[in-house]
């Protein structure tokens, strides 16, 4: 091996860039994790939300940047994932062009895997091949003559088994050698009609004043009618004319422009692989008998329901104790710090109710995220995820989603945060976008306390437990029932992204490795805390300040006076005096609650709530409900505590609190045309519940949507859902008045 000084880069700036390229399901990411360990950096590619995973590879005395490109079957640049591959390989849009490509190929399916290699050969970037899953190929009776393959391809070929770490040393060695002495893949020999077509396009694009096309890019334009390279050209008619001419020439040569590229590549590959791959008899596929069971109409469906039940239960119930633990930790920290800062109440409240509560509010999501990604990694690594998507695709295909939307939407019934994060498994950008927008409509567990409080207070006493149960059940479907038709409308009329064919490769069943699963959990957990967490924390501090300030001391004095005047009716002055000396006494607590209530009424959010109450008036909401609704925009479960404060009961009430329930039942309008009438009539109660079912009252979800898509979509989702919630609540109230 060369000493570092001798391996001095030839006019290279910084570290050499090595990119891993390959089809999905080849073990490319496992190999990447093995090579870089935890020295990884995850970011987004500029302008699009495709994850850019890079890491540091140290070997042979040099440091290299290793880039894990998204898995793709071909260079057809339709999806964002594929577009990124094309951009990186072409060194476009300010991205650094790799110095070396490492193709990770699935040895059990060499021919199809080599198609991408054959397409990339056109780019002329030095390459080497990692022949992965060699163990599986041997088990399937496939023998590969590695030396002959390397000779035919003109680049080094290394056998690896990424899951076990076999062949890693050889691969690293080969990467170091290839950086020093690069070798490129031989380019395919195209028929004349195609070379001419490319020439025509390149000349035409130059004439149209757009950026020049390389030969490799011209081929993409020629074969993908909606290639990204045509997006930048303003004169669409010109591109179409050029393509029509080029395609006519291809047709006249007896080829089909739709399949010509693949046909020519595969013909080339069949010649290349002759004598290299030898399969003993028909390929023995291990998964046939398992598929017969798992994809069976009856058994397959039952097993699917069972698997999904376990996933859902684990999120909905099993995460509970962990979340309680985090909750208890947050309270304990607050209780510990509160007395230390009693001299500075504003700082005390900022630290305890703003920052610590906010951090707790971020960490509370971690158990569900980790558990969900444990199952997603498990289901994907075993190969079941593709089967699950196959089984349920029809349920979703009519409204623009696909079979892979199932797990994210199901998880959103526990919590939309992990649900939105789980949409990473959807490679179709349109289906992913739609699934993300639908996820917050699923009735998450944070809505449950609101339903339980209102149903338990108003519906159960009137109509009995049976109706109460039915209403609770129905509330869980309100969001879904609206979301799917909305998805259809959105897809049909608004989204201008091309629908992609939903094609799934059924991978071989494999035994997952714990290492891989834990890596996925760690990666997602870290990303959530570092990226979404900071935004959620900022939201939480903002809302705290709106509820805390201006905190005029006069408010406290007035509240105390009015409280004492009220108390004097039933108690003697001496009784009150002695009770107030004991901070634990009933009267002291009631006074504290009274002051809290006055403060919230006078806070910026309280004033805002009163000011916008007319907006919610058509839904029958009074100012207290309005403030409750507004204060629960960062997190919907907050409404219970806010209601507690507003109704002088303190923040420590929960949905089962009898005090809160009886206060709500007695609450009457104190002014206006409805003076003296109860506030919480059945239409108002239903309106509040439907409002909570449809409204995006979750700062964390807004933050995660902004993270996964962008702020524009997050705003669209937020305002869209809020408007929908308002319209629904108003409709319920107004229609009920017609009776």
Site for another protein, rule CB under 8 A: 73-74, 76, 78, 109, 111-112, 115, 223-226, 251, 256-259, 261-263, 265-266, 283, 285, 287, 291, 295, 297, 300-301, 386, 390-395, 397, 403, 498, 500-506
Q: Quickly tell me which residue has 């404060």 as its tokens.
A: 645
How far apart are alpha carbons 103 and 26 in whole angstroms? 10
Helix (H) / strand (E) containing 20: strand 17-22
- The residue written with tokens 């006493």 in the block is 461
Find out whether 265 and 115 touch, Cβ atoms under 8 Å.
yes
Q: How far is the CB of 675 from another protein (least distance, A)?
A: 56
Residue 395 or 727 with smaller CB distance to another protein: 395
Q: What is the DSSP string of 542-597?
A: HHHHHHH-S--HHHHHHHHHHHHHHHHHHS-HHHHHHHHHSTTSHHHHHHHHHHHH
Residue 226 vs 324, nearer CB to another protein: 226
Is the Cβ of residue 265 or residue 624 nearer to another protein in the bound state? 265
Angle at 100 between CA 95 and CA 104, to 5 degrees: 105
Burial class (CB in 10 A: 0-12, 13-18, 19+), 483: buried
Q: How far is the CB of 225 from another protein (least distance, A)?
A: 5
Beta carbon nearer to another protein, 70 or 449 = 70
**Which tokens is 477 given?**
């479907």
- Phi/psi at 191 (5° precision): -65, 155
How do strand 51-59 and strand 40-44 relate by DSSP bridges?
Answer: antiparallel
In the complex, minimum distance from the CB of residue 440 to another protein, in angstroms, rounded to a whole number: 26
How near is the Cβ of 217 to another protein at its closest, in Å?
A: 15
Shortest spacing between CB 257 and another protein, in angstroms: 6
Place of tokens 């939903």: 502
Q: Which CB sits closer to another protein, 499 or 578?
A: 499
**Can you tell me the distance from the alpha carbon of 40 to that of 527, in angstroms, rounded to the nearest whole number?**
12
Closer to another protein by CB, 61 or 141: give it: 141
What's the rounded Cα separation, in Å, for the pair 164 and 510?
A: 13
Between 117 and 517, name the residue whose CB sits nearer to another protein: 117
Q: What is the largest CA-CA distance in the chain?
A: 107
CB 246, CB 200: distance < 8 Å: yes
Residue 385 or 639 having the CB closest to another protein: 385
Provide, rounded to whole angstroms, the least separation between the CB of residue 516 and another protein.
Answer: 23
Q: Where are the beta strands (DSSP E) in 185-242?
A: none
Between 34 and 404, CB nearer to another protein? 404
Q: Which is nearer to another protein, 184 or 395 (CB)?
A: 395
Rounded to a whole number of angstroms, the minimum distance from the CB of residue 176 to another protein is: 32
How far apart are the C-alpha atoms of 59 and 1, rounded to whole Å?
11
Q: Provide the residue count of the chain.
A: 739
Tokens matching residue 534: 């900071």
Query: DSSP letters along 277-303, please?
Result: EEE-SS---THHHHHHHHT-TTHHHHH
* Rg for the chain, CA atoms, rounded: 31
| Distance of closest approach, residue 105 Cβ to another protein, in angstroms | 14
| Joined tokens for residue 61 | 């005395």
Nearest distance from C-beta of residue 280 to another protein, angstroms: 13
Which CB atom, from 95 or from 262, has the smaller least distance to another protein? 262
> Whole-number minimum distance, CB 394 to another protein, in Å?
4
Tokens of 161: 């088994």
- Contact between 219 and 198 (Cβ < 8 Å): yes
Rounded CA gap, 598 and 204, in Å? Answer: 73
Residue with smaller CB distance to another protein, 297 or 496: 297
Q: How far is the CB of 68 from another protein (least distance, A)?
A: 22
Alpha-carbon separation of residue 263 from 249, 255, 266, 269, 433 (angstroms): 17, 9, 5, 10, 33
Our CB check for another protein shows the closer of 46 and 258 to be 258
Closest CA to 729 of 615, 607, 632, 630: 615
What is the dihedral sign for C-alpha 381, 383, 384, 386? positive
Here the tokens at position 25 are 């399901």
CB of 592 to another protein, least distance (A): 59
Q: Which is nearer to another protein, 65 or 508 (CB)?
A: 508
Rank residues 291 and 527 by Cβ distance to another protein and give the closer one.
Answer: 291
The pair of three-digit structure tokens given for residue 519, joined into one six-digit string = 């890596």
Check whether the bond before 550 is cis (ω within 30° of 0).
yes
Task: Spell out where 359-456 has E strands.
Answer: none
Q: What tokens were used for 462?
A: 């009137």
Nearest approach, Cβ of residue 403 and another protein (Å): 8
Compute the least distance from the CB of residue 3 to another protein, in Å: 44
Q: Which two tokens stand for residue 351?
A: 């630290």
Q: Name the helix (H) or strand (E) containing 341.
A: none
Nearest approach in angstroms of CB 221 to another protein is 12
């Amino acid at each position: 091996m060369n000493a570092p000084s001798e391996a001095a880069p030839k006019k290279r700036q910084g570290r050499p860039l090595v990119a891993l390229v390959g089809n999905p399901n080849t073990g490319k990411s496992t190999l990447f994790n093995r090579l870089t360990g935890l020295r990884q950096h995850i970011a987004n590619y500029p302008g699009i939300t495709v994850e850019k995973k890079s890491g540091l590879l140290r070997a042979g005395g040099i440091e290299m940047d290793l880039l894990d490109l998204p898995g793709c079957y071909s260079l057809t640049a339709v999806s964002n994932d594929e577009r990124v591959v094309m951009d990186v390989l072409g060194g476009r849009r300010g991205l650094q062009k790799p110095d070396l490509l490492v193709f990770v190929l699935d040895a059990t399916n060499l021919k199809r895997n080599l198609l991408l290699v054959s397409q990339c050969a056109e780019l002329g970037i030095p390459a080497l091949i990692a022949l992965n899953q060699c163990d599986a190929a041997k088990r399937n009776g496939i023998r590969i003559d590695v030396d002959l393959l390397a000779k035919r391809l003109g680049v080094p070929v290394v056998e690896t088994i990424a899951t076990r770490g076999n062949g890693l040393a050889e691969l690293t060695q080969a990467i170091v050698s290839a950086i020093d002495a690069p070798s490129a893949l031989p380019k395919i020999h195209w028929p004349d009609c195609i070379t001419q077509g490319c020439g025509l396009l390149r000349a035409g694009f130059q004439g149209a004043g757009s950026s020049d096309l390389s030969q490799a890019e011209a081929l993409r334009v020629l074969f993908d009618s909606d290639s990204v390279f045509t997006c930048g050209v303003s004169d669409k008619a010109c591109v179409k004319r050029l393509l029509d001419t080029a395609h006519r020439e291809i047709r006249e040569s007896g080829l089909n422009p739709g399949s010509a590229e693949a046909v020519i590549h595969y013909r080339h590959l069949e010649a290349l692989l002759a004598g290299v791959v030898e399969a003993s008899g028909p390929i023995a596929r291990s998964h046939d008998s398992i598929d017969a069971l798992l994809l069976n109409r009856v058994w397959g469906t039952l097993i699917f329901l069972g698997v999904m039940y376990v996933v859902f239960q684990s999120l909905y119930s099993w995460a509970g104790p962990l979340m309680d633990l985090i909750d208890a930790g947050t309270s304990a920290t607050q209780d510990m710090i509160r007395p230390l800062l009693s001299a500075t109440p504003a700082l005390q409240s900022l630290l305890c109710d703003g920052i610590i509560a906010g951090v707790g509010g971020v960490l509370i999501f971690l158990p569900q995220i980790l558990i969900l990604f444990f199952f997603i990694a498990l289901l994907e690594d075993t190969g079941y995820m593709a089967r699950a998507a196959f089984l349920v695709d029809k349920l979703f295909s009519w409204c623009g989603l696909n079979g892979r939307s199932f797990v994210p939407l199901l998880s959103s019934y526990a919590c939309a945060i992990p649900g939105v994060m789980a949409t990473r498994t959807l490679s179709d950008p349109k289906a992913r976008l739609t699934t993300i927008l639908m996820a917050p409509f699923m009735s998450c567990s944070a809505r449950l306390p609101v339903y339980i409080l209102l149903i338990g207070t108003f519906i159960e006493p009137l109509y009995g437990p049976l109706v109460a149960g039915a209403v609770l059940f129905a509330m869980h479907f309100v969001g879904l029932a609206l979301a799917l038709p909305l998805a259809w409308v959105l897809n049909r009329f608004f989204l201008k992204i091309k629908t992609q064919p939903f094609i799934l490769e059924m991978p071989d069943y494999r035994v997952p490795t714990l290492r891989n699963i834990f890596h996925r959990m760690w990666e997602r957990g870290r990303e959530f805390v570092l990226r979404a967490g900071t935004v959620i924390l900022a939201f939480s501090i903002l809302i705290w300040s709106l509820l805390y300030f201006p905190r005029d001391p006069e408010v406290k004095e007035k509240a105390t006076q009015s409280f004492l005047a009220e108390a004097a009716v039933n108690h003697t002055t001496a009784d009150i005096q002695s009770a107030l000396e004991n901070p634990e006494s009933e009267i002291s607590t009631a006074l504290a609650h009274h002051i809290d209530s006055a403060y919230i009424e006078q806070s910026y959010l309280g004033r805002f709530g009163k000011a916008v109450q007319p907006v919610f008036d058509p839904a029958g909401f009074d100012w207290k409900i309005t403030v409750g609704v507004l204060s629960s925009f960062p997190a919907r479960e907050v409404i219970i505590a806010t209601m507690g404060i507003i109704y002088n009961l303190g923040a420590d009430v929960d949905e089962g609190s009898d005090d809160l329930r009886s206060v709500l039942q007695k609450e009457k309008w104190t002014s206006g045309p409805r003076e003296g009438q109860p506030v919480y009539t059945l239409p108002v109660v239903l309106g509040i519940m439907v409002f909570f079912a449809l409204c995006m009252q979750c700062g964390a979800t807004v933050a995660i949507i902004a993270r996964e898509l962008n702020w524009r979509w997050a705003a669209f989702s937020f305002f869209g859902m809020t408007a929908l919630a308002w319209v629904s609540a108003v409709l319920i109230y107004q229609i009920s008045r017609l009776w």
